[in-house]
A and B are shown apart, each in its own frame.
Chain A
Amino acid sequence: MNYSDAELMAVLLSREVRDGEISACGALSQIPAAGLLLAQALHAPNAELIILNSSFTPFRTSKQFHYLAQRGELGLFFVSGVQIDRHGNYNLHQIGPDPEHPQMRFPGGYGGGMIYYGARRTVVFRTEHTQRSLVERVDFISAAGSTPPDVLRHGNPSKVVTPKANFHFDKAEGVLHLDTIHPGYTFDDIRECTGFDIGDSPISITAAPSEEELHVLRQVIRPKMIETGTYAAWAQKSLGNEAARLA
């Protein structure tokens, strides 16, 4: 491959952004931040970007962002979770079978608990695609993929993106289906590293990052992130860095 996992995921996330839509990512979201900026440079010049805790935000307070999502005006949100399950639930709280005595505790999921329901579409990204990160049932539901039809909700998860495959969320069934497999992996590879049933082959192959996508990501977005202090150290290390890619 002539791209890294981080570059691949930034490109895949950028393809989810629609022109003219308000699109956002939360804290510690380097890859979506790069994806949002890439989309704006390529196919979504009129997308309104909100990269929390950066200069790319129109807001002064998180309250303003919260109410935007509550009103249903947020078109797309990127979120991650320690565990993601087949039902589109994700876990940002804790790991372990006994909820009262977790083996490990995580920051929690304010963003998910509200924004997963407020944003029109949410794309869940996860840099690790293994049986421990993609599971049948999460240990703790920080945000639910589905809710009964009489519950107030503006949107649902739309996709899960990992370095190996894309899944799409079937709203009617309330489950994730394997969508496409990234170049270099086989159906069996994905079945082995996924903790839930992925159905049957054949599944099509994800369109690899194009020359243009990689060029703009490395030559335009990387310097832009460095100059604006938007995950600058990460951008320097992870985008267009030959040594890191081969490591």
Chain B
Amino acid sequence: MGVPYVPIVGLVGTDILKRRDDMVIAVDPFDGKTKSVVAKALRPDVAVFHAQVADRQGNVSCGYETEAVMLAEASRHVIVTAERIVERLTEKEAKGAFIPSIHVDAVAHAPFGAHPAGCFGLYSPDKVHMREYVLASKDDASFDAYLRKYVREVKDHHQYVEQFVPLEWREPARETGS
């Protein structure tokens, strides 16, 4: 949208407001009395998200996740990981949302890149892994152990997929790259 802030209906009286310094209650400048929350615009430096398909120019089709379009527009830099890279992707071929390459800085091929979350139309969240993640989130020590196992001690994405994405998801071999 490109505006510095937006008024919204809601949130007054919640504990959410107590925790956010980017949302305040303001008076309607036109009628001089009605109060509502105004939220400061989000302007991320970098957005990173996963998509179903992207092409070499940075055109992206991200299935159901149409909010990713707003995210891409709002962010100064955009990095997209994709299940599949094709030579050329146009708006017509995109299923769901289409993000033109004008917003995208870089694309990386990363099959199962959404794991342990799901990728709409391709795979559902990995419930076993999610349970482990929730348990690990209980305190800093257990979460550090989680990060060590799944992030820091993993050489690259290929190794992560080999080790942690359920085997039955990877067979039969899915189409990857072009």
Is the Cβ of B15 less than 8 Å from the Cβ of A141? Answer: yes
Q: Which residue of B lies closest to A117 (CB)?
A: B10
Query: A61 near B15 (CB under 8 angstroms)?
Result: no
**With known contacts A150-B35, A151-B36, A152-B36, A144–B12 Cβ distance under 8 A:** yes
The interface residues of chain B, by DSSP majority, are classed as loop
Return chain A residues, CB-CB under 8 Å to B66: 60-63
Closest chain A residue to B69 by CB distance? A61
B14 within 8 A of A: yes
Least Cβ distance of A55 to chain B in Å? 13
Q: Which of B15, B33, B96 has the most CB of A within 10 A?
A: B15
Bound-state Cα–Cα, A144 to B18, Å: 13
> Which residues in A have their C-beta under 8 angstroms from that of B70?
63
Bound-complex Cα distance A61 to B16 (A): 24
Q: Do A152 and B35 touch (CB < 8 A)?
A: yes
Q: Is the CB–CB distance between B34 and A113 below 8 Å?
A: no
Contact (Cβ within 8 A) A144 B8: no
Interface residues on A, range: 20 to 34
Contact B10 A118 (CB under 8 A): yes
Known: A60-B66, A70-B9, A114-B9. A151 touches B35 (CB 8 A): yes
A228 within 8 A of B: no
B153 proximal to A (CB < 8 A) = no
- The 20 sampled A-B contact pairs (Cβ below 8 Å) are A60-B66, A60-B96, A61-B67, A72-B9, A89-B13, A93-B15, A113-B10, A113-B14, A114-B9, A117-B11, A141-B14, A141-B16, A143-B10, A144-B13, A146-B13, A148-B12, A152-B9, A152-B34, A153-B12, A154-B9
What is the interface of chain B, defined by CB distance below 8 A to chain A?
A: 7-16, 25, 28, 33-36, 66-67, 70, 96-97, 137
